[in-house]
Structure 1
Amino acid sequence: MINAARSVLRGVREHTGGAILTSAALDHRIDALSDASATAPNMLATAAAIDLGRDSMARPLAGAVVFLTTDEQGMFRSLSPEQYHRVMATFQDCRAALDDALAVTR
């Protein structure tokens, strides 16, 4: 028998490289998980998280970031198709904004 909650967390830990994860609750029942010990800021994921409801004054997300949702019992699960499209559209908008900002500074 597979424990889905442990399986999801194992996959997130493998992807982020972190044994201890930081979870940021966003709007629309979306959570951003990242390696708590990572030090390199992930500006794209941070911008997307802010656009999805994260406090802009919060510490930037660092390292690899995984976006998930939780079920009624609070267990992490894959995003629904609607949540996935919302996150992807937000990333596209944020990527364009960051590219524009970089172009101005060059």
Structure 2
Amino acid sequence: MALEVNGKTLDTDEEGYLSNLGDWVPEVAQAMADADECELTDNHWEVINFLREYYEEYQIAPAVRVLTKAIGKKLGQDKGNSRYLYQLYPYGPAKQACRYAGLPKPTGCV
């Protein structure tokens, strides 16, 4: 599969995750969100940026429980809960947000 961004064709796997993490630019997230008919707000970007920083530090995409807990620590309990994250990413906070962030599929995600 492939994704068109800024006139470039980027390879993705069968689930839409980037094949090359180095290909990620913010426009990738926007293109993926457009395909999902999702409008990215500042709250979405806060999670995307958090995930990219998390991956840079730990070299792993967090599963939803770890993501929820880590966001709660950094961004506050009002954002560190499943209800909030599922409102932003209805297809699964870890899976969908990691895909938008250009990260691999989180471990433990089906």
Question: What is the TM-score with the length of structure 2 in the denominator?
Answer: 0.38
Rg larger for: 1
Between Structure 1 and Structure 2, the one with more helix by share is 2
TM-score (norm 1): 0.39
| Structure with the larger RCO, 1 or 2 (CA within 8 Å, 6+ apart) | 2
